[in-house]
Amino acid sequence: MNPQLAQTFQSLFSATPLIAFAPGRINLIGEHTDYQEGFVFPAAVDFGIYIGIQKNSQKLCRLYSMDFDQEYSFELDYISPKKGHWATYVMGMCALLQQSGYKLEGFDLLIGGNIPVGSGLSSSAALSVAIGTAISGLFELGIPKKNIALYAQKAEHLFAGVNCGIMDPYTSSFGAEGKALLLDCRTNTHQEVSVDLQEFSLILANSKVKHSLADSAYNKRREACEESVRILQAHFPGIKTLRDIPESDLVKVESLIPNYLFPKAKHVITECKRVLEAAHALSIGDLATFGKLLNDSHQSLSKDYEVSCAELDFLAEKAQCLDFVLGSRMMGGGFGGCTINLVKTSELESFKTILSEGYEKTFQKSPDFIPVKLSRGAALL
């Protein structure tokens, strides 16, 4: 990617670029906990977005996307991001940096990458973080990693129109080789956990579906959690979110909130506990316990939180039945996207064959498989 990016930059803009990289991310466990200020356990992966950048002594910023094979120009004094366009992430980051007082000048910028878009690996967060890293490097702004993640999140909110949490850009910024990040979504701070998968590997199975329910269901789940918190605050003084309630209080919670809210609250409360247990299990190399927590997480997301779908349930349940699979669950917001699987490395080919055959028979399409390695975060190369 690197030499090719530099070469393309040279032929488009007749200059040698500074190159920045930011990775996509997976989430090992901790789904639908972020908006209740709970815990998540993501990691950066070994592919991402590459940006070539150089000053051009003009007022104009000239952009080119290799994947879209498109160019785009804008002036730093007249930024008007267009929702849905890839250039929005560049304009959004520039607008936010300028609003914060950073002085930018015209630049040429080339985007390349190898993250499958829309498969739940967060290509958009990687793009924004790569842009922030590139601009910070080019103009020697020294923007801290955490601020780049916060600007990237804000760019998604304000310019892409996606109300996402901090996890994706944070992980793209802070990822580290062979490590997962135990991230506290209340304090936006993390602890690195070394991950040794021994004779096992992580592989994603992409269901290649995205059901239209996703957005409305997401908002409904958020509201259900907030409603539970409002009711519970009268009985648990001082709680701010469901994250503040220990699992040992579940029986009490059940007696206080309506039946239709309880499974939703239960998911968030138990998932926060699973994240902490999973981080502990990995830190002591207990892969069997970690795998079981993945399975429990899927069960909770599917049956209690009700954000799975037939395709994800099929892939997770099929994988869980195999004796060379330690754990499997849906990853991401739900209603489509990937499952994440912990599979014995020597059995990866059998894993793919068995899942593909079953999936094709039932859903008349084949899943894609994406092997992932826990890797470094954003950097200038």
Which residues are identified as catalytic? 168
Residues 212-251: x where in contact with Mg ion by CB under 5 A, - otherwise, as a string: ----------------------------------------
Binding positions for Mg ion, 103-132, rule CB under 5 A = 124
Selection from Mg ion, ligand ADP, none that 111 binds (CB < 5 to 8 A by kind) is ligand ADP
Q: Are 138 and 80 in contact (CB under 8 A)?
A: no
Nearest of 179, 209, 210, 212 to residue 196 by alpha carbon: 179
Residues 146-185: x where in contact with ligand ADP by CB under 6 A, - otherwise, as a string: ----------------x-----------------------
Cβ at position 230, least distance to ligand ADP in Å = 31
Selection from Mg ion, ligand ADP, none that 49 binds (CB < 5 to 8 A by kind) is ligand ADP
Cβ at position 289, least distance to ligand ADP in Å = 30
Cβ at position 117, least distance to Mg ion in Å = 9
Cβ at position 160, least distance to ligand ADP in Å = 7
Cβ at position 200, least distance to Mg ion in Å = 28
Q: Which is nearer to Mg ion, 26 or 245 (CB)?
A: 26
Give 346's DSSP letter. Answer: G
Q: Are 175 and 376 in contact (CB under 8 A)?
A: yes
CB atoms within 10 A of CB 256: 17
Pairing status of strand 379-380 against strand 70-75: unpaired
Cβ at position 99, least distance to ligand ADP in Å = 22
3-state secondary structure of 172: helix
- How many residues lie near Mg ion (CB under 5 A)? 1
Give the integer Cα–Cα distance in Å for 165 and 167: 6
Selection from ligand ADP, Mg ion, none that 109 binds (CB < 5 to 8 A by kind) is none
Binding positions for ligand ADP, 91-150, rule CB under 6 A = 111, 113, 115, 117-118, 120-124, 127
Residue 21, strand partner residues: 50, 379
Residues 74-93: x where in contact with ligand ADP by CB under 6 A, - otherwise, as a string: ------------x-------
Nearest of 44, 87, 53 to residue 173 by alpha carbon: 44
| Stated length of the chain | 381
Q: Which is nearer to ligand ADP, 113 or 367 (CB)?
A: 113
Q: In sequence order, what DSSP letters do the residues of 205-247 get, joined into one string?
A: EEEEEE-TTHHHHHHHHHHHHHHHHHHHTTTSTT--SGGGS-G
Q: Are 164 and 157 in contact (CB under 8 A)?
A: yes
Does the footprint of Mg ion cover residue 172 (CB under 5 A)? no
Q: What letters, b where the CB count within 10 A reaches 16 and e where it falls short, cover 258-287? A: eeebbebbbbbbbbbbbbbbbbebbbeeeb
Residue numbers at the binding site for ligand ADP (CB under 6 A): 49, 65, 67-68, 86, 111, 113, 115, 117-118, 120-124, 127, 162
Residue numbers at the binding site for Mg ion (CB under 5 A): 124
